[in-house]
Amino acid sequence: MERTLIILKPDAVQRQLVGRIIGRFEDKGFKIVGAKLRRIPRQTLERHYSDHKGKPFYQRLLAFMSKDPVVILALEGKNAIAVCRKMMGATFGSKADAGTIRGDFGISDSFNLIHGSDSPEAAAKELQLFFDTDELVSYDIISAPWIYDEDELVEPPSLPRTPP
């Protein structure tokens, strides 16, 4: 199982899409192992978006992401990073395929609703930046064997047969 960071950006919160987006991840079979609603301090955003420093959109991105609350999620599941990114769709809503989060809910090329880790290394770094160790929980969900095609499916108990 793999963990990834997902941020539902201020536009997703303002447009009241949080439940619908989280529902897509749960419907797919991902388990929420951490969740927060908060404003992200500018210093944290500078660390998170350090790869974009110096680019023309950098200051606007920091202002946008620090202005309003976001929902920060830690999701766990099989191939979580790649599958979540596929579910998110292309970076720009106008180019994202229908059926993806950005394709179904976005048209903007500036406000793209969601962030997701793009590699195992990025996920580890981002999860550590946004969650303390004790804020991430491990637990089993009863549907896991059916979601993940596990070979360890347990036969359900036989029900007593009633005579015809």
**DSSP state letters, 26-79:** HHHTPEEEEEEEEPPPHHHHHHHTGGGTTSTTHHHHHHHHHHS-EEEEEEEETT
Is there a catalytic annotation at residue 48? Answer: no
**Which of 17, 115, 127, 130 is flagged as catalytic?**
115
* Sign of the torsion angle spanned by Cα atoms 100, 104, 105, 109: positive
- Can you say how many angstroms the Cα of residue 110 is from the centroid of all Cα atoms in its chain? 19
Largest distance between two CA atoms of the chain: 78
Active site residues: 115
